[in-house]
Chains A and B, each alone.
Chain A
Amino acid sequence: MAGALILRRLAQIAVTTAILSLCAFLLIGLMPGDPIDLAIAGDPRLSAEDAARMRALHGLDQPLLARYLAWAQSVLGGNFGHSRLFAQPVSALLGPALLSTLELLGLALLLAVGAGVGLGALAALRPRWSGPVQALALAAQAMPTFWLGLLLIILFAVTLGWLPAGGAEGGWRFLLLPVVTLAFANLAAYTRHSAAALTAALAEPHIRTARAKGASEARVLWRHAWPNAAVPVIAVAALDAGALVSGALVTETVFARPGMGKLIFDAVMGSDFNLALLALLVVAVVTMLATLAADLIQRWLDPRLA
């Protein structure tokens, strides 16, 4: 049963990816200005003759659909092409950017989920704490990421000098501030969903039975209430998985940390077709796979969904 579901969903992912690639190619291609226009704006020495030569060399004088077919053929043959912006093979650029983003956003997601579920549980178990927890969630949601990032930099890097202000040299010290910034920004969703779901789960009759049997509060919470409450939280986490791969443009920019968000933004704005398309497709595929995984986990947690 699950095998058939997986096969069907994988086929859907393949078709969706093909349609997405065409849409993305056409949308980027229809944006005003091509790479040569941008080059001319930055270098007045480029003559009309140079522009025509460069357009022909990059195939930009061909119709958009012909360019898409050539690109698709090349990708199906395993050649993802060359990035015009970074003068590197696209595959060589995506790997490190993806790793850097997964490291940053993965840790941020773990922290956000952990803290969010913890705070949600606190709000659900201790109603007098609900107000402060909700206020904290509201503050996290309302605070712009770039502002929080800059505040943390000013405090911990410039004033106290404890942590680096940015960069990607490696090591936990470079990760701490961006991870905290991102986790704080995502905290609200997990706190609110956990609090709501746990409050509802704790009101279920089987919880009363568990308590009557003498189960500890911790056991009641995590063994009996949490499996039911986890379903909506997992759905939110699955949706966040796409963001996990597409990067965090603002955080990556503020902390001067290369990653998928910055890479995709630069590629789209710089008309770097090969890089933009592959990066967007990676994000789309990972999001779809994560949604599939979430569906499977939810079915496992709650067999009624199957």
Chain B
Amino acid sequence: MKRWLIAFLFLVLPAMAQGRDTLTIGITQYPSTFHPNIDSMAAKSYVLGFARRPVTAYDAEWRVTCLLCETLPTLENGLAVRERTPDGKDGIAVTWVLREGLRWGDGTPLTTEDLRFAWEAGRESTTGFGPAEFYRSAYEFTAHDARRFTIRFDKVTFEFASLGDFAPLPAHLERERWRADPRAYRSRTLYDTEPANPGLWNGPYRITAVQPGAGVTLERNEHWSGPPPHFRRIQVRTVENTASLEAQLLAGQVDMVAGELGLPVEQASALMRRTGSRFHVEYKPGLIYEHVDLRLDHPALSDRRVRQALLHALDRPQIVARLFEGRQTVAHSTVNPLDWVHEAATRQYAHDPARAVALLEEAGWRPGPNGIRVNASGERLSFELMTTAGNRSREAVQQVIQAQWRAVGVEARIRNEPPRVLFGESLSRRRFGGAAMYAWISAPEGVPRTSLHSEEIPSAERNWAGQNYTGFRNEEMNALLEALPQELDREKRRDMWRRLQAVYADELPALPLWFRQDAHLWPRWLEGVRPTGHLNSSTLWAEEWRAR
């Protein structure tokens, strides 16, 4: 009997293990490009997390960590040195050393030449890389040898050790294409014309097949020098409709749904109730900040007391409990509680309709006809409340907000627009009629300059550039936003962040709602997935994923 059992296990266990050498993942978006340095989108970050490694990244604990480098540069270890730039500005020279044995998927060693090429391409403005602030600041690149390189920056920021999205590009494959015509490089890069070329990838997996709009197949990269990944093949399937994605999960066509681009938390919770213990779900609070922007030049909303009253009138914990099954983190400022700079003592606005009424009375808004408050001139306390049409959860929240404001005598007239109209016209041209509910995505310790500095208020003179849609002007906030990035002392920075959150909570240029949580669903047999909650997705550590 025992012999039969051993024979059975001998035959069956390897077969089971082999059955789990492929992992199929469902996501709701398809990457618009596979080039690491062109454009930025969550789907690309997720897929490329398997196939390439940046030099540094934020880990699951939201700390900068080395992925391709040996040690993070600091002033103390001498790898970062403050200095003067040739034109006399405060600058910094930062040195990284690449880990030994790094190779591209075709076996070519990954060296500082690949980073030099990425820097050269980024410095050339016609190449068409997205956010170029890094390249504008990094004015000199020096390769000391194949593994050691120094970048000189013309300004000092606390993030000097992080190379962000700056990733090596395979110079042996891409340099000549780029040199031939930098302007056309964007459409000629091998990343998009021949994404299955193994030489493009330096991660534990490499892309082997692409089906535009439908999915990506990745297989083990035999030249990966890190710990070998468990799964032989990863299939990332794009299913934009979340009901269909859920059906594919239940039908066993996809094994897991990525939280970064997956089911809304309320749908995931409902699914878990129906399926019991079939899947494991992990809710990870992220850096997507849902809020209501207020137009500060609106006659009523320009009064801080009115804005404070609006927030006191909202029962955010109740909304989260009822609409999202308690799966969102109520926000009190732009800073996520998981961020080390979060200040718990920041002023909080509890649901307090009586306090809201008192503030509105104090601001001169008295009860009027039909229950809507009016001021001394007889003007109604009424404005438009906009959000992205078709976003069911936002539209549901909007209804509750409208009702809760109505209870204290404030009329919010709902007017929704498709995302491209809301973002491309109403917000960016500041044409929204009072309030707009949407989300910002940021990075750990991301300084919100673009949304809060008065220089970032969009206007015709500035060709509508900038994202300070509320029109917020505050000298102290401006000073903090300018000083924060340059402050290297963590304790001093913490004080500045404390002050920033206090000013935000007092002034309320926008009403904080919550930080969205991601629902990561995976099968019980999968382990090692560590959701991060930010744009450096869990796939950057895919070599740790295992089938039980």
Contacts and interface: CB of A to CB of B under 8 A. Distances in A.
A32 B253 CA distance: 39
A53 B132 contact: yes
Interface stretch (B171-179, B294-302, B313-321, B416-424): B416-424
Contacts of A255: 244
Contact of B131 (A50, A153, A269): A50
B450 interface: yes
Interface string B405-428: 000000000000011110111111
Contact of A158 (B214, B247, B450, B462): B247
Given A150-B243, A167-B214, A39 B132 contact: no
Contact of A43 (B131, B241, B418, B424): B131
Given A33-B425, A37-B424, A86 B247 contact: no
Given A37-B424, A161-B251, A46 B130 contact: yes
A50 B130 contact: yes
A57 interface: yes
Q: How large is the interface on A (under 10, 10 to 19, 20 to 34, 35 or more residues)?
A: 35 or more
Given A44-B467, A46-B131, A33 B212 contact: no
Nearest to B463: A52
Nearest to A262: B213
Interface string B38-80: 1111000000000000000000000000000000000000000
Contact of B213 (A84, A86, A157): A86
B238 interface: yes
A43 B244 contact: no
A165 to B, nearest CB: 4
A166 B239 contact: yes
Given A48-B465, A84-B32, A87-B33, A38 B442 contact: no
Contact of A258 (B40, B133, B211, B420): B211
A256 B240 contact: yes
Contact of B251 (A43, A165, A254): A165
Nearest to B462: A48
Nearest to B420: A33
A82 interface: yes
Instruction: Output the residue of B35, B244, B442 with the most chain A CB within 10 A.
Output: B244
B188 to A, nearest CB: 9
Contacts of A118: none
Contacts of B238: 256
B237 A34 contact: no
Contacts of A258: 211-214
B253 A166 contact: yes
Interface string A141-174: 0000000001001100110010011111000000
Contacts of B250: 157-158, 165
A262 B238 CA distance: 13
B441 interface: yes
B451 interface: yes
A167 B240 CA distance: 11
A43 B465 contact: no
A86 to B, nearest CB: 5
A52 B467 CA distance: 14
A84 B187 CA distance: 9
B424 A38 contact: yes
Contacts of B131: 43, 45-47, 50
A141 B456 CA distance: 52
B465 A52 contact: yes
B34 interface: yes
A256 B235 CA distance: 15
Interface centre among A48, A49, A255 (most CB of B within 10 A): A48
Interface in A89-134: 89, 93, 96-97
A150 B38 CA distance: 37
Contacts of B467: 40, 44
B128 interface: yes
A86 B32 contact: yes
Contacts of A41: 419, 423-424, 427-428
A94 to B, nearest CB: 11
B420 A271 contact: yes
B248 A33 contact: no
Contacts of B253: 157, 164-167
B40 A167 contact: no
A82 B212 CA distance: 14
Contacts of A271: 420
Contacts of A161: 251-252
B134 to A, nearest CB: 9
Nearest to A93: B212
Contacts of B247: 150, 153-154, 157-158, 165-166
A144 B260 CA distance: 30
B89 interface: no
A86 B43 CA distance: 12
A151 to B, nearest CB: 11
A39 B312 CA distance: 34
Interface in B415-464: 418-421, 423-428, 440-442, 446, 448, 450-451, 456, 462-463
Given A51-B465, A257-B214, A269-B420, 18 more contacts: A32-B426, A33-B423, A37-B425, A38-B423, A39-B39, A42-B40, A43-B41, A48-B463, A50-B132, A50-B133, A86-B32, A86-B213, A87-B32, A154-B247, A157-B250, A161-B251, A164-B248, A258-B214
20 contacts: A32-B420, A39-B130, A42-B441, A44-B442, A45-B40, A48-B456, A53-B125, A86-B30, A86-B212, A158-B250, A165-B244, A166-B244, A166-B253, A167-B253, A254-B243, A256-B237, A256-B239, A256-B248, A266-B213, A269-B418
Interface of A: 31-34, 37-54, 57, 82, 84-89, 93, 96-97, 150, 153-154, 157-158, 161, 164-168, 253-258, 262-263, 266, 269-271
Which 5 pairs show the lowest CB-CB distances between chains A and B?
A33-B424, A48-B465, A32-B425, A41-B423, A87-B192
